[in-house]
Structure 1
Amino acid sequence: MLNPWASEIRRLVTFVVLTLFAGLLTGQLLVTALIATLAYLCWHLTHLVGLERWLRKGGSAMPPIGDGVWGELYYHIYRMRQRNRKSKRRLANVINRFKESTSALPDAAVVLHATGEIEWFNDAAAHYLGLSAPNDIGQRLINLMRHPSFAKYLQQKDFSDSLEISSPVDDMMMLEINIVPYGGKNQNLLIARDITRIKKLENMRKDFVANVSHELRTPLTVLSGSLESLADADDSETLATWRRSLGHMQQHNMRMLSIVDDLLMISQLETADNKSDHYPVSLSAMLSTIYDEATVLSAGAHEIKLDIAPALWLMGDEKELHSAFFNLVANAIRYSPAGGLILMTCQQREEGLYFCVKDNGIGIAPHHIQRLTERFYRVDAGRSRASGGTGLGLAIVKHVLDRHGAKLDITSQVESGSEFCCYFPVDSICEPER
């Protein structure tokens, strides 16, 4: 395109020459020059008004028709607005993709200004941190998360290490907070991960190591003491000492063997394939056997009853189911006083099949119930060991039920008794093999 200013200068020179010629011809040079100047200004004013109206309407339509410098001006403004629209669309797509990707993240993400104001956050941040859009946009995060450790972490400006705190919306939820520079010097990106399960596993591992060490140390101490007694015994008292010591050693040896057997079974349950050995199991026959075993274990100290619907069959592993059901019954016997009632119930409903063990024993406080299926977790450590339990029974029950797609429900009241119910889905119920 030709230089618009050269064209405009030629236009102006031509206009001046014609004005001078007309003024000399009429003898009114000053009046002619004034009229010509007003006409020139009106021409520019007309284009200026057209430009203002076009821009006020958004400038998205084709620009007004103009020649000279105005035509060039319309063209460049139109091209610039077209480029801006394309840039805005590209930027909007980038922002939308960023929002979609961060919204899909399982971790909470919060964009912070250098002074701590919230600029943006994803859906997970609302769930983990209790943030609410759009009310909390522009608010200082330190005012919304009033945790002393977090306030200190945010103010110290040293984010090389992560911070672990409880969630402001749920004290039981543990969060790992990381802050990294984002978008330049004036922004930071806060990432909060839910590490509740990891912390729980860490605590369970610590408890497991401590408990298994304690569980094995007591029998080993008894064995060691008995051996020392035998070594120091005089000939006259050797026979009596042997008898007493052998009884203690045999008792605690059996206890250690039970612990090892239960640990091995849990290991097998964790590593074996689900439903690898499932086949129709007669619950009537199995529970009749468990009833006989429970009667022997109780030694007549409890009243044991069995209420089972006839011809109930369940698809599963008979050995695993027997272990889980017997553990529930054995626990009821161990923690029920002499003369207590223990009721085993197995019935079929529309939603599936259930097996329950109910007793009127010592009961369990509510804050213990959630942890009962952890390995070696004991409500009363001294009473549990005295009763002969290994502390692994309910852990085995949980693993067996998980492998059979079933759930364990526990209800209890202190000094009134407990009820442990196993719920199996409808598709676990089957017909006997023919």
Structure 2
Amino acid sequence: MSTPWSVEVWRLAGFVLAGLLVDWLFGLWPWGTLLVLAAYIGWQFRQLYRFITWIRYGKRDEPPEASGVWGDLVSEHYRLYQRNRRRKKKIAKLLNRFNETSAAMPDATVILGPRLEIEWFNDAAVRLLELKSPDDVGRRITNLLRHPAFLGYLEKGDFTEPVEFPAGPDTDRQLSARMVPYGNRQFLLSVRDVTRIHRLEQMRRDFVANVSHELRTPLTVIAGYLEALAEDAQDDPALLRTYRSMEGQATRMRQIIEDLLTLSRLEAAETRPGDGEPVSVPAMLASLVEDARILASEARLDINLESDTGLWLNGVEQELQSAFSNLVSNAVRYTPAGGSISVRWYEDRNGAHFEVQDTGIGIAAHHIPRITERFYRVESDRSRATGGTGLGLAIVKHVLQHHDARLRVESRLGEGSRFICDFPAERIIRRANPATALAAGAETAS
């Protein structure tokens, strides 16, 4: 038995003996014993009252002196109180440090509750989002930031990427917002001013578009003169080869300029073509594959087409044709002689899919994340030799973004590549005769 309990047992025994002694001396049995036990119980109640009073008033004073079980109870409770107090001080310091750090950040930081109600925000949020303290605490963020892009971002629930939107109708400031879920259904909203970056991007787009446009006319003139000079040099093979080589380089430069202008138009589009027009993808692919067979006739490539003829898309025909043409021409360009290319257009439960698979040179795994960057080349020498501009996949990426689609790439070095464009079900249009009709185009280019 522990020491406090031993003390308590001896105390009770002392009270009982004292009661018995009173009964024996004064002949009061059993009233003397009962009186002494009542005194013992009263003493216990007094200790309980002192303990409860000490707890009730916040333990501001030193703990009451007690012995036995009560002393052990007071001591243990006081020890727990001191430990909890130290823990609270530590948490308070961490919170103060977090508040100071967040307040010093140039980005707006807003803590939101389960219903997206504002719980806390820093000074930058007052400046960037025009929040007011304490009036806006408790209000839903959707009542204060009502731009459709931001509301759509919250409704979609996919917070892997930030969303950009203007700060207001009367300003050209651009904001970038990102939601970070944490804790028990809480969110951290981080908003930064990206106006400078947005302006630099606009300047870059304008510069590329203007320079490309200005270069197109002189290149056309140069190409015309080269063609005329080549015609006049038919009797001089060496000079003719020089002119033809210059013509080829001029043509390649014109293609780069056309691709740059296409990219500029795609980047300048501020809204997605959700209200596009029905596009007959099967007819488009039939024409593209036929052109590809003509281009690949000397390489003896086997190009097959499988297309669901009732599967159309809602979108922009010119953009889709540019994206699909780039993928097919890339397959032709990087597939060795005697190889095969498979083009598929089909639907499943996840949406519509355009797929180009080849038996070409393939792409190393470390190149795949960067192949959609403009002018990025896996093999620079080979790309230039085959006439590639380094802009085709960048155009594909922007076209797919305009159509709420995404690009998947599967490739192994030396084993070929597979490019898949995934379009959402909302873009699908079904025409008459919805049964899948496979337009078998398994013709070998002669």
TM-score, normalised to structure 2, is 0.48
Which structure: larger Rg? 1
The structure whose RCO (Cα within 8 Å, separation 6+) is larger is 2
